Amino acid sequence: MVVRYELTDAETDRVFHALAAATRRDILRRTAVEEQSVSQLAADYDMSFAAVQKHVAVLEEARLVIKRAEGRERLVRADPTVIARVRALLAQYEDLWRGRIDRLDALLAEHPSSDSTERD
Protein backbone atom coordinates (compact mmCIF):
# COMPACT_ATOMS: atom_id res chain seq x y z
CA MET A 1 0.00 0.00 0.00
CA VAL A 2 1.50 3.26 -1.16
CA VAL A 3 0.70 6.15 1.13
CA ARG A 4 -0.50 8.80 -1.26
CA TYR A 5 -0.62 12.18 0.36
CA GLU A 6 -3.72 14.14 -0.62
CA LEU A 7 -3.69 17.91 -0.68
CA THR A 8 -6.07 19.69 1.67
CA ASP A 9 -8.22 22.57 0.45
CA ALA A 10 -5.87 25.10 2.01
CA GLU A 11 -2.82 23.48 0.41
CA THR A 12 -4.53 23.39 -2.97
CA ASP A 13 -5.42 27.07 -2.55
CA ARG A 14 -1.77 27.86 -1.92
CA VAL A 15 -0.54 25.88 -4.91
CA PHE A 16 -2.94 27.45 -7.40
CA HIS A 17 -2.36 30.88 -5.94
CA ALA A 18 1.39 30.38 -6.29
CA LEU A 19 0.92 29.40 -9.94
CA ALA A 20 -1.29 32.43 -10.65
CA ALA A 21 1.57 34.85 -11.37
CA ALA A 22 3.81 34.77 -14.44
CA THR A 23 6.96 35.65 -12.47
CA ARG A 24 6.44 32.70 -10.13
CA ARG A 25 5.75 30.31 -13.03
CA ASP A 26 8.96 31.54 -14.61
CA ILE A 27 10.90 30.90 -11.41
CA LEU A 28 9.39 27.43 -11.30
CA ARG A 29 10.49 26.75 -14.88
CA ARG A 30 14.02 27.99 -14.25
CA THR A 31 14.48 26.05 -11.03
CA ALA A 32 12.99 22.95 -12.66
CA VAL A 33 15.83 23.01 -15.18
CA GLU A 34 18.56 23.91 -12.71
CA GLU A 35 18.99 24.89 -9.09
CA GLN A 36 19.32 28.68 -8.77
CA SER A 37 20.24 31.04 -5.95
CA VAL A 38 17.72 33.72 -5.01
CA SER A 39 19.98 36.47 -6.35
CA GLN A 40 20.56 34.60 -9.60
CA LEU A 41 16.80 34.48 -9.98
CA ALA A 42 16.34 38.11 -8.95
CA ALA A 43 18.90 39.35 -11.50
CA ASP A 44 16.53 38.66 -14.39
CA TYR A 45 13.41 40.42 -13.17
CA ASP A 46 12.59 44.07 -13.22
CA MET A 47 11.78 44.27 -9.52
CA SER A 48 13.61 44.43 -6.20
CA PHE A 49 15.47 41.51 -4.67
CA ALA A 50 12.98 41.55 -1.79
CA ALA A 51 10.07 41.19 -4.21
CA VAL A 52 11.65 38.12 -5.82
CA GLN A 53 12.38 36.78 -2.35
CA LYS A 54 8.67 37.04 -1.59
CA HIS A 55 7.73 35.22 -4.79
CA VAL A 56 10.12 32.41 -3.87
CA ALA A 57 8.55 32.29 -0.39
CA VAL A 58 5.08 31.88 -1.94
CA LEU A 59 6.35 28.99 -4.06
CA GLU A 60 8.04 27.50 -1.01
CA GLU A 61 4.91 27.68 1.14
CA ALA A 62 3.06 25.89 -1.64
CA ARG A 63 5.88 23.32 -1.57
CA LEU A 64 6.47 23.83 -5.28
CA VAL A 65 10.14 24.57 -4.60
CA ILE A 66 12.64 23.56 -1.95
CA LYS A 67 15.33 25.90 -0.63
CA ARG A 68 18.62 24.74 0.82
CA ALA A 69 21.52 26.70 2.30
CA GLU A 70 24.93 26.57 0.68
CA GLY A 71 27.32 29.02 2.31
CA ARG A 72 25.67 32.40 2.22
CA GLU A 73 23.47 31.42 -0.70
CA ARG A 74 20.01 29.90 -0.70
CA LEU A 75 19.61 27.52 -3.60
CA VAL A 76 16.12 26.99 -4.94
CA ARG A 77 15.00 23.96 -6.88
CA ALA A 78 11.57 22.93 -8.15
CA ASP A 79 9.91 19.91 -6.58
CA PRO A 80 7.56 18.21 -9.07
CA THR A 81 5.59 16.12 -6.56
CA VAL A 82 2.97 18.75 -5.77
CA ILE A 83 2.67 19.61 -9.46
CA ALA A 84 1.92 15.94 -10.13
CA ARG A 85 -0.83 15.95 -7.53
CA VAL A 86 -2.39 19.06 -8.97
CA ARG A 87 -2.28 17.56 -12.44
CA ALA A 88 -4.11 14.52 -11.10
CA LEU A 89 -6.70 16.80 -9.51
CA LEU A 90 -7.31 18.61 -12.80
CA ALA A 91 -7.58 15.26 -14.55
CA GLN A 92 -10.36 14.36 -12.11
CA TYR A 93 -12.31 17.46 -13.14
CA GLU A 94 -12.02 16.37 -16.75
CA ASP A 95 -13.09 12.87 -15.78
CA LEU A 96 -16.13 14.26 -13.98
CA TRP A 97 -17.04 16.14 -17.12
CA ARG A 98 -16.67 13.01 -19.23
CA GLY A 99 -18.85 11.09 -16.80
CA ARG A 100 -15.91 8.82 -16.18
CA ILE A 101 -16.17 8.83 -12.41
CA ASP A 102 -17.10 5.61 -10.70
CA ARG A 103 -14.85 5.31 -7.66
CA LEU A 104 -16.02 7.05 -4.51
CA ASP A 105 -12.64 8.56 -3.64
CA ALA A 106 -12.58 10.29 -7.00
CA LEU A 107 -15.92 11.89 -6.25
CA LEU A 108 -14.57 13.02 -2.94
CA ALA A 109 -11.66 14.44 -4.93
CA GLU A 110 -10.38 17.21 -2.77
CA HIS A 111 -11.95 16.27 0.54
CA PRO A 112 -9.57 14.96 3.22
CA SER A 113 -8.84 11.25 3.00
CA SER A 114 -6.23 9.35 5.06
CA ASP A 115 -4.62 7.42 2.22
CA SER A 116 -5.29 5.78 -1.13
CA THR A 117 -3.54 3.61 -3.66
CA GLU A 118 -0.92 4.77 -6.09
CA ARG A 119 -1.65 4.58 -9.77
CA ASP A 120 0.61 7.11 -11.50
User: Looking at 2, 10, 33, 50, which residue binds DNA (CB under 7 A)?
Assistant: 50
Stretch that binds a second copy, among 29-37, 38-46, 49-57, 67-75 (CB under 8 A): 29-37
Cα distances (angstroms) measured from residue 53 to each of 29, 35, 72: 16, 15, 15
Closer residue to DNA, CB minimum distance, 51 or 84: 51
Number of chain positions touching a second copy (CB under 8 A): 31
Sheet-wide strand order for 73-78: 36-37, 73-78, 65-70
Strands (E), the chain: 36-37, 65-70, 73-78
User: Looking at 5, 9, 49, 115, which residue binds a second copy (CB under 8 A)?
Assistant: 9
